[in-house]
Amino acid sequence: MTEERRRFQRITFDADSEIRTDDFSYPVELIDISFQGALTSAIHPTLLNIGDTAELVIRLSSDIIIRMPVVLRHKLGGYLGFAAQSMDIDSISHLRRLVELNLGNEELLERELEHLTGN
């Protein structure tokens, strides 16, 4: 497919990450992230099924954490693709800063935010 269907830039980023549910917590490797969701690689076999909800916890530093409520949208091999749900203000602020630093372009960031808010 030559037409790019994604409206959000994916940021390749590596950080200490884990998936949490009410029943379990396990580490994952963060492959990329956007305002729309994240792609991870499971380090251990997972109990998640398509449509399950969880929380993706991404530690940017000891005191900066992104908590992204997510829904599992696709699962292929060890790869887990999550769609982001509504985040708390601190997490969305940290994610915004992460995207801003990695895009390196204020215009692209503004376009991302417009897509996020539906404007």
pLDDT in tens, the chain (119 residues): 334 444 556 777 778 999 999 999 999 999 999 888 999 999 888 889 999 999 999 998 889 999 999 999 999 988 999 999 999 999 988 888 887 777 665 665 566 555 554 55
Q: How far apart are CA 23 and CA 33, in angstroms?
A: 24
The string of pLDDT tens digits covering residues 95-114 is 888 877 776 656 655 665 55
Burial class (CB in 10 A: 0-12, 13-18, 19+), 15: middle
Range list of β-strands (E), the chain: 11-12, 16-20, 25-33, 37-42, 53-59, 65-76, 79-84
For 11-117, CATH number out of 2.40.10.220, 3.80.30.20, 2.40.30.10, 3.40.640.10 equals 2.40.10.220
85-96 pLDDT, tens digit per residue, is 999 999 988 888
